[in-house]
Amino acid sequence: MDPKGKAAIVTGGASGLGAATVRALCARGARVVIADRSRETGEALAAELGGSAVFVETDVTSESAVTGAVRRAVDDFGGLHIAVGCAGIGTNGRVVGKSGPLPLDLFALTVNVNLVGMFNAIRLSAAAMQNGVPDAEGERGVIITTASIAAFDGQIGQAAYSASKAGVVGMTLPIARELSRFGIRVVTIAPGIFDTPMLAMLPDEARAALSANVPFPQRLGRPAEFARLALDIVENSMLNGECIRLDAALRMQPK
């Protein structure tokens, strides 16, 4: 699918991987709804991109909020062709720590945002895409979700986070198979350690230690590299039902 002239929505699009993807899509001629909870950064990004993007305050766990963001794409840009799910949270906590068992509320919150919220965005985006006019190859839409290499080699303290991201990986193929009848593809990206606002809060020594574990290139991933892969997925119609690791050959150690 050629992004030029297409309508897109990016959840978690106000910062980090999402913001890089928004910029990349707009640079290729797409028009994008930035769906995020952060109004200040989301509106600033939309202002930077001019008429190519609009911001809609969105909680991915809310059906009404995501419905509103999708409807904004349809109303403002004439449909929905591309959806990229980057919204998520990172949590840590041992199953049994010094203060006792991991709070069940924390586990539920992690799964609710990272997995249920992702599914919410998928289902509502697909419902809008199925009504679109197919291109010459019969394609109506592309949905890209974000997992993590923690889905495969999660560390101690990442039980909740790993479970939520493994769920994203696990639903990729069955949803891709189901939506194939509408000409909608579904692909997941599993990033390694990327230089996002979350990691920016770490001291330089901690960032250097993380980078040292990456085989090559021995550094943190750049959000623009994630965005580049997202564009490749949009443009390559044979990519479907797959999870792609973007991790510079990193396999995380137990801790």
Residues 6+ apart with CB under 8 A from 68: 56, 58
Q: In angstroms, what CA-CA distances link 61 with 90, 104, 124?
A: 16, 18, 12
Is residue 204's pLDDT more than 80?
no
Domain 7-246 sits in CATH at: 3.40.50.720
Contact present, 7 and 80 (Cβ < 8 Å): yes
pLDDT at 205: 76
pLDDT tier, 82 (very low <50, low <70, confident <90, very high otherwise): very high
Question: What is the pLDDT of the chain when averaged over all its residues?
Answer: 95
Do 189 and 21 contact (CB within 8 A), yes or no? no
Q: Please give the average per-residue pLDDT across 167-179, as a whole number.
A: 98
pLDDT (average), residues 20-35 = 98
Return the H-helix or E-strand segment holding 101. strand 100-101
In three-state secondary structure terms, 191 is strand
In angstroms, rounded to a whole number, what is the distance separating the alpha carbons of residues 234 and 225?
Answer: 14
What whole-number distance in Å separates Cα of residue 96 and Cα of residue 234?
42
Q: Is the dihedral of CA 62, 68, 72, 74 positive or negative?
A: positive
Region 51-71: mean pLDDT is: 97
- Sequence ranges of the domains in the chain: 7-246
Measured between alpha carbons, how far is 70 from 84 in angstroms, rounded to an integer? 12
In this prediction, residue 55 carries a pLDDT of 98
Active site residue 161: yes
Q: What is the mean pLDDT of residues 105-114?
A: 98
- CA–CA dist 242, 251 (Å, integer): 19
Active-site hit among 55, 107, 161, 182: 161
Taking residues 161-172, report their average pLDDT.
98
Could you tell me what percent of the chain has a pLDDT over 90? 91
pLDDT of residue 201: 64
Please give the pLDDT value at position 31. 98
Question: Where does the pLDDT of residue 202 fall: very low under 50, low under 70, confident under 90, or very high at 90 and above?
Answer: low
Rounded-to-integer distance, Cα 78 and Cα 221, Å: 34
| pLDDT value of position 123 | 98
For 60-69, what is the mean pLDDT?
98
The reported pLDDT for the residue numbered 149 is 96
Token couple for 139: 């394609």
Average pLDDT over residues 64-91: 97
Cα–Cα distance list, 57 to 42, 110, 178, 199 (Å): 8, 20, 30, 24
